[in-house]
């Protein structure tokens, strides 16, 4: 049902977090009242605070709140909302939800149920794409009943293959298999994730295209037959099939390539009489051959980069189209200007296998420079919950060209101050300044190829060590000046420090000899004969230090832990001690506290549900062997043995809810 009267008076957003906040901003700018829905875990969430009114919909688990259609319908009745925007995830691609809303006379801000159903099933959508003349990936276009059948079909197609859930998206329910063992295990894992995320465990198989790029086309269509494509987004930087960095336009495509892909996206949209915003995803090989992957019948997480380069508000267009209005533009009106990059800020620990992190945001400061946009759903003091996706925010930067957008992103990541939960900013910083990323030589295998042993502090070698050393020495001098002023030793005198210092870095156990002079925001540092001019207005206690070092603008995060200065810059964190030469000599005699031996213990690194135990007491295990699977934040996390050993004790059972640090397995 298409509404053809006046604009909506009140929109309910059937979602949470940053996407709900983002939709509220546009609705309010259009003069439309807003309604939030919330669970127990979200009663104090930012999206609830932003809305004009809010409705409680149940317990924290999404299957008992955000995924219950009846509860959303009841919220619409209670609030009097005449339209619903589903955001992404949850019910955004649920055809029954769309139908039930329409039956109640409530507009669904998205496509109709026919498009949702046909494009929501990957097998059906592939057949429609074939009939519409759209390039598709070779594969087996039917449901696989079990892992044995999966192995048989994969053998016929030829490895490598991709196991994919026919419902949903977002990288869940997907596994690459290079042999029979990986195919069997991958089928089980993909099925479990698909059931957990979408309530639909159906799996199919496609040929895996090696060295691929993931490039998608944003389309917009109204109910009057008008359709346009709004350029492409490069989404090749992925981990576990989930996008990490997106950009628009793609550094790989030419205008001719963009036109070809855009026209095929429109062909597919026309085949299902599409209306509203949608995204047609393609996989592109090194020769620029492109193949249809799927169509997402909703707003995408990465839509801001398209907004930045087109100057359009996609949510506003979705609302207008849902109200029966015509698109206010034609294909010839779409002009891409500049470059935009988005990074996804997650509550996860990149140094511990990207395990999710939960807890309270003790400090939270967003970057606020020109050309920087933050779509967030969190605030200082807020909670990151175990029940939902670990995304904290989306950080978007815009520049006149790709290099400028990259530089702005690097500085913005340095300026993003988060304490209280682990986050992936170090990882994102390392990616953004990586020479291969800067060159635009991207594939979906980028992360696996560049970090084959996983991401660790050892790979953070790109950052300039001199920045850390010089910055720490100036911080030390600023503190010295303050101490001298407080003690009244400067009464009637000018202070012109000239200090010989030793900088000791715990990360590398290196010592640096420096001579520092200057005061009043301007300093000179002699580091082994190399001179650095250092200008800053930083004050003690501020978490961010902005400086001009030899003409280069630098941002560092500053924490004081005991006598050590902790600095974070370009993904690297250094623990630095700045002392006099005499104290440096004495420091060499300090005893180093030994860390307790935990090599014989496997503990839960996060709160979650123990869904699988692969060992029993008395079993002999090898390093790297699968031990347990914990489900948290809608993802299955595999825990492996770090050493060879024999299982001595297992104090937990499958189905148990685990706390952080809870013992799972003890080895002899």
Residues involved in catalysis: 294
E strand intervals along 506-598: 510-519, 522-527, 530-536, 544-549, 552-561, 564-569, 572-579
DSSP 528-541: TTEEEEEEE---TT
- H-run or E-run covering 140: strand 139-140
Q: How far is CA 4 from CA 274, 322, 556, in A?
A: 17, 9, 53
Vertex 315 angle, CA 382 and 319, to 5°:
120
CB atoms within 10 A of CB 478: 19
- H-run or E-run covering 106: none
- H-run or E-run covering 264: helix 255-271
**CA torsion through residues 141, 145, 146, 151, sign:** negative
The C-alpha atoms of residue 481 and residue 517 are separated, in whole angstroms, by: 11
The C-alpha atoms of residue 573 and residue 447 are separated, in whole angstroms, by: 21
The answer to whether 538 and 478 have CB atoms below 8 angstroms apart is yes
Vertex 194 angle, CA 192 and 200, to 5°:
110
- H-run or E-run covering 645: strand 645-649
Task: Give residue 550's region: left, alpha or beta (phi > 0; psi -120 to 50).
Answer: left
How far from the centroid of its chain's Cα atoms is residue 121's Cα?
25
The C-alpha atoms of residue 164 and residue 208 are separated, in whole angstroms, by: 11
User: In a 3-state reduction of DSSP, which class is residue 324?
Assistant: coil
- Cis peptide upstream of residue 249 (ω within 30 degrees of 0): yes
The answer to whether 355 and 405 have CB atoms below 8 angstroms apart is no
How far from the centroid of its chain's Cα atoms is residue 133's Cα?
34
User: In a 3-state reduction of DSSP, which class is residue 270?
Assistant: helix
CA-based R_g, the chain, Å: 27
H-type helices in 440-593, by residue range? 446-450, 465-486, 581-587
User: In a 3-state reduction of DSSP, which class is residue 296?
Assistant: strand
**Strand 359-360 and strand 383-384: pairing?**
antiparallel
Nearest to 571 by CA among 423, 453, 438: 423
User: In a 3-state reduction of DSSP, which class is residue 637?
Assistant: strand
The C-alpha atoms of residue 28 and residue 346 are separated, in whole angstroms, by: 27
The C-alpha atoms of residue 639 and residue 628 are separated, in whole angstroms, by: 5
- DSSP state, 31? T
**Strand 276-284 and strand 242-248: pairing?**
unpaired
- H-run or E-run covering 238: strand 227-239
How many helices and strands (H and E) does the chain possess?
17, 39
Specify the long-range contacts of residues 448-457, CB closer than 8 Å, at least 24 apart.
Answer: 454/353, 455/350, 455/351, 455/354, 455/427, 455/430, 456/351, 457/351, 457/507, 457/572, 457/573
Q: How far is CA 589 from CA 583, 586, 592, in A?
A: 10, 6, 9
Vertex 423 angle, CA 419 and 425, to 5°:
105
């Amino acid at each position: 049902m298409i509404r053809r009267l006046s604009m909506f008076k009140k929109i309910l957003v059937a979602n949470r977090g940053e996407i709900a906040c983002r939709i509220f901003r546009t609705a309010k700018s259009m003069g439309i009242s807003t309604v939030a829905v919330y669970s127990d875990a979200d009663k104090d969430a930012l999206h609830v605070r932003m809305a004009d009114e809010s409705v409680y919909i149940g317990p924290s688990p999404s299957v008992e709140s955000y995924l219950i259609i009846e509860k959303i319908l009841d919220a619409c009745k209670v609030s009097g909302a005449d339209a619903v925007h589903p955001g992404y995830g949850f019910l955004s691609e649920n055809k029954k939800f769309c139908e039930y809303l329409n039956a109640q006379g409530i507009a669904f801000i998205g496509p109709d149920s026919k498009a949702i159903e046909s494009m929501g099933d990957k097998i059906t959508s592939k057949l429609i794409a074939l009939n519409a003349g759209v390039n598709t990936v070779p594969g087996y276009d039917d449901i696989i009943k079990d892992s044995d059948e999966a192995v048989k079909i994969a053998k016929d197609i030829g490895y490598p293959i991709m196991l994919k859930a026919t419902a949903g998206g977002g990288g869940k329910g997907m596994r690459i298999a290079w042999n029979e063992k990986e195919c069997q295990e991958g089928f089980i894992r993909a099925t479990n994730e698909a059931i957990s995320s979408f309530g639909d465990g159906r799996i199919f198989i496609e040929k895996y295209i090696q060295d691929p790029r993931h490039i998608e086309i944003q389309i917009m269509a109204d109910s009057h037959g008008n359709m346009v494509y709004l350029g492409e987004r490069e989404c090749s930087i992925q981990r576990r099939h989930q996008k990490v960095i997106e950009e628009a336009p793609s550094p790989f495509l030419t205008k001719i390539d963009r036109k070809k892909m855009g026209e095929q996206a429109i062909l597919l949209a026309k085949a299902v009489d599409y209306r509203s915003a949608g995204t047609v995803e393609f996989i592109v090989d090194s020769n620029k051959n492109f193949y249809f992957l799927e169509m997402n019948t909703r707003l995408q997480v990465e839509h801001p980069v398209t907004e930045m380069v087109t100057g359009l508000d996609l949510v506003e267009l979705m609302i207008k189209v849902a109200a029966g209005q015509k698109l206010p533009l034609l294909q010839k009106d779409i002009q891409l200007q500049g470059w935009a990059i988005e990074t996804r800020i997650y509550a996860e620990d990149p140094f511990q296998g990207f395990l999710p992190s939960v807890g309270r945001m003790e400090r939270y400061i967003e970057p606020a420079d020109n050309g920087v946009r933050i779509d967030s759903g969190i605030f200082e003091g807020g909670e990151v919950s175990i029940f939902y996706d670990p995304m904290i925010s989306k950080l978007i930067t815009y520049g006149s060209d790709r290099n400028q957008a990259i530089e702005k992103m690097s500085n913005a990541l340095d300026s993003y101050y988060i304490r209280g939960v682990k986050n992936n900013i170090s990882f994102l910083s390392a990616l953004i300044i990586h020479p291969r990323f800067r060159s635009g030589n991207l594939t979906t295998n980028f992360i696996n190829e560049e970090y084959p042993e996983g991401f660790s502090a050892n790979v953070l070698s790109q950052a300039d060590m001199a920045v850390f050393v010089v910055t720490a020495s100036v911080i030390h001098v600023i503190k010295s000046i303050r101490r001298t002023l407080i003690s009244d030793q400067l009464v009637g005198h000018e202070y012109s420090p000239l200090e010989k210092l030793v900088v000791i870095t715990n990360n590398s156990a290196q010592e640096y000899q420096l001579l520092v002079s200057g005061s009043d925001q301007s300093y000179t540092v002699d580091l082994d004969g190399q001179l650095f001019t250092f200008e800053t207005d930083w004050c003690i206690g501020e978490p961010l230090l902005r400086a001009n070092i030899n003409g280069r603008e630098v941002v560092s995060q500053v924490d004081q832990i005991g006598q050590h200065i902790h600095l974070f810059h370009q993904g690297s964190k250094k623990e630095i001690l700045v002392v006099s030469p005499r104290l440096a000599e004495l420091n060499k005699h300090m005893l180093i506290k030994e860390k307790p031996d935990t090599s014989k213990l496997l503990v839960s690194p996060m709160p979650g549900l123990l869904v699988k135990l692969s060992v029993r007491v008395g079993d002999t295990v090898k390093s790297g062997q699968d031990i347990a699977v914990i489900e948290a934040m809608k993802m299955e996390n595999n825990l492996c043995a770090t050493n060879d050993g024999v299982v001595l004790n297992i104090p937990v059972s499958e189905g148990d809810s685990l706390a952080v640090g809870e013992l799972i397995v003890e080895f002899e």
